[in-house]
Amino acid sequence: MVSIMPRSPSLRRHVRWIVCALGFAPLVVGTTPSAAQERRPIEIDDLFRLRSVSSPVLSPDGNWVAYTIGVTDEKAGERETRIWMTALDGSATLAMTALGTSASSPAFSPDGRYLSFLASRGEKAQRQVWVLDRRGGEAQALTDVEQGVSDYAWSPDGTRLVLTIRDKEAKDSVWEKTAPPWVIDRLQFKRDGTGYLTGNRRTHLFVFDVASKALWPVTWGTSDETSPVWSPDGKMIAFVSNRTAEPDRNDNTDIWVVSADRRADGGDSVSSAPPELLQITTNPGADRAPAWSPDGRSIAYVTTLDPDLIWYATNHLAVITDGGEPRVLTQALDRNVGTPRFTPDGRGIWFELEDSAEDHLARIELRNGRITRPVSGPVSVDDYAVSPAGDVVVLLQRLDCAAELYRVDGGNLRALTGVNDSLFGALRLAAVQDETFQSADGTEVEGFFYLPPDYQAGTRYPTLLRIHGGPVSQFSHGFNFEAQLLAAHGYVVVTVNPRGSSGYGQAFSHAIWADWGNKDFADVMAGVDHAIDRGWTDPERLGVGGWSYGGILTDYVLTKTDRFQGAISGASEVLYVANYGHDHYQREWEAELGLPWESRETWERLSPFNAVDKIVTPTLIMGGEKDWNVPILNSEQLYEVLRRRGVPTELVVYPGQPHGIRVPAYQRDRLERYLAWYDRWVRGTSPSR
């Protein structure tokens, strides 16, 4: 089933208004050469020309939206994020922070006078809350916290902030000249991007008085607290915390409420007694993302009802009123939800909704449970903002357009930003076919098929199967730079949402539980066969690859078939028992596969390492040196086996990099190596590197 057009007539009005604010439609198969010559194919340099829009917030009067724009300076090896502000009527756009500095988390003070943000500037080496008077003048640091501020929120009357602050690091004069040893006594002792989790440093909530600069704790102890939100009357703060006896053994976060008032004794120090907290939720799964109703009687939140299913479980929208029993509002929907916010009149709740490779902005009416989707169709809504007056702005991307801001104007979307207009106006993009097809057992599967920009009907092209990470994730109707780059290089690119993917309901996701590389393997291979059946793909020139679970499933593919001429395994796993106690997934491994000394058969049955003797495909193996998500140990093992067996292979390790490659030079290098490896082994031409 081809679904290039919106899936119902009622959705077409949305699409008509959101063509990248460029006035051009996506290229379709059969575009004439004269039209195609007006634009150029995408190239690696364009990765660093792309600007990323994020973090939209609306002013209290609904007249302005503030947001961030991130840009990468490849030569300097740095990324800079600035805050901008655009009028909702389109009359003006203003840069609010200067070049040469980075800022994040913009917010308006409740009276709209100040624009605040987080930044580390000058002598403020750690991130602080800064405020900019919108009437003019330079930004000023509002807070001065030694260890920095990780998050903040204004009180409804604008007199206070709630700050999220991590405990100070203990200092010992013995280790002034030498790094101290890492001393660890907790079950979860590593985290990718952080490293070893040492000591008892926790993250707590503090209230900051804007006028007096007084700062006092409202939570303390041995638990972490995140996601603080003020009650409408400013007396209470709701937050998220796992306060079980051993939080590293579960994901049982709950919603809690604490008074925002200064401690009764007037002191600023932490008491030995625990803070007085009110527990709102008791579900054994994760409860998070709290949002107060305008009257302060209800809290909406996201809940996971099947915690034993870990990431395969569907996330639902729930609400608790007057401390009563929770009502799960979306259980029958069987789709993941996120970011709930009450409508200004309190009668409904806005939320993000993931559905079949699309990401919508939805709304549920509390009176009757009716769900509508004001922003839907073949789009991906990444974020949204709602003003007290009910104005709505979405951050939205499409297959042919990176994320931009749009005002939800009745039944239409009106572009507010176009920071990538000039770039996309110069590009000749791949046509993308969104199609469904049947897997080997008859299961319907969806995939996106990228055709080279100069595609000629009747010609079969070398084809690359690129697999998403997760496994609980999905390819959606968002701009995929990597797929566009590979297509511009003359490949058909196949991106499939196999079983395990997140947008098709809990059963579809859970289908690969303790059975990786089986149904998901069949699904991605069905995508390749579909591309062959459609006449796009040369079956003798096939490549495969992916990162994270995309690399893991690639390893399975290589042990199960010799149909591919070249492969790239990025940040993958092969011998699973080697990861236990080495990566940061201790709890998830135990939940899905059991304890390795009690269920070793399951661990070994699933490990691709035990079938590596079947791999014949030339394979490029890659990863980050400091990856604690999928440690480089796995890539080293796979490389050693293939090298020992004489299978053409290379191992590329990026120094100091975590799971996501952050350094621009390494990002370029990775893409160059992708092209060179596929050109050599799939296309059969000289390396492009």
pLDDT band for position 271 (cuts 50, 70, 90): low
In order of 102, 120, 419, the CA distances from 83 in angstroms are: 8, 14, 13
- Asked if the model's pLDDT at residue 15 lies above 90, the reply is no
Residues 341 and 362 sit within 8 Å (Cβ to Cβ): no
Residue 570: pLDDT above 80?
yes
Residues 61-107 pLDDT 10s: 999 999 999 999 998 888 999 999 999 998 999 999 988 889 999 99
Does the residue 52 lie in any domain?
A: no
Residue 227 lies in a domain: no
Q: 21: Cβ–Cβ under 8 A, 6 or more apart, which residues?
A: 404, 415, 417, 418, 421
Question: In this predicted model, which residue has the larger pLDDT, 109 or 17?
Answer: 109
H/E stretch holding 163? strand 160-166
Please give, one letter per residue, the 3-state secondary structure of 218-286. CCCCCCCCEEEEECCCCCEEEEEECCCCCHHHCCCCEEEEEECCCCCCCCCCCCCCCCCEEECCCCCCC
Please report whether residue 316 resides in a domain. Answer: no
Query: Stretch 666-672: mean pLDDT, rounded?
Result: 97
Q: Does the bond joining 471 to the residue before it have cis omega, within 30 degrees of 0?
A: yes
* Confidence at residue 411, expressed as pLDDT on a 0 to 100 scale: 79
Predicted pLDDT of residue 272? 62
Look at residue 562 and tell me if it is in a domain: yes
What is the C-alpha to C-alpha distance for residues 435 and 4, in angstroms, rounded to an integer?
8
Query: Would you give the distance in Å from CA 458 to the centre of its chain?
Result: 38
**Enclosing domain of residue 449:** 429-683
Nearest Cα to Cα of residue 13 among 356, 359, 373, 357: 373
Q: Please state which of the ranges 181-195, 201-215, 331-345, 444-458 shows the lowest mean pLDDT.
A: 181-195
Token representation of residue 354? 């993931």
* Residue 335 structure tokens: 């789709």
> Which parts of 345-400 are beta strand (E)?
348-355, 358-365, 371-375, 380-386, 392-398
Q: How many structural domains compose the chain?
A: 1
What single letter denotes the amino acid at residue 62? G
Mean pLDDT of 325-341: 96
Q: What is the CATH number of the domain that holds 482?
A: 3.40.50.1820
Of 110-124, 167-181, 375-389, give the lowest mean pLDDT range.
167-181
Q: Are 465 and 543 in contact (CB under 8 A)?
A: yes
Q: Which tens digit of pLDDT belongs to each residue from 354-412?
A: 999 999 999 999 999 999 999 999 999 999 999 999 999 999 999 999 999 999 988 78
DSSP assignments along 196-222, one per residue: E--TT--EEEEEEETTT--EEES--SS
Distance CA 407, CA 415 (A): 6
pLDDT tens-digit map of 515-533 = 999 999 999 999 999 999 9
- As a whole number, the mean pLDDT across the chain is 91
Range 141-168 average pLDDT: 95
Average pLDDT on 224-230 reads 97
**Which DSSP letter does residue 614 get?**
G
Residue 28 has pLDDT above 60, yes or no: no
pLDDT at 5: 28
Amino acid 687: pLDDT:
53
- Asked if 580 and 502 count as a contact pair (C-beta separation under 8 A), the reply is no
Lowest-pLDDT range of 3-17, 214-228, 577-591: 3-17
Is residue 363 in a domain?
no
Residue 593, pLDDT > 50, answer yes
> Is 132 contained in some domain?
no
Residue 582 lies in a domain: yes
Q: Do the beta carbons of residue 312 and residue 304 sit within 8 Å?
A: no
At 686 the pLDDT is: 59
Residue 25 has pLDDT above 70, yes or no: no
Is residue 599 a part of any domain in this protein? yes
DSSP E strand stretches across 387-460: 392-398, 401-409, 412-415, 431-438, 444-451
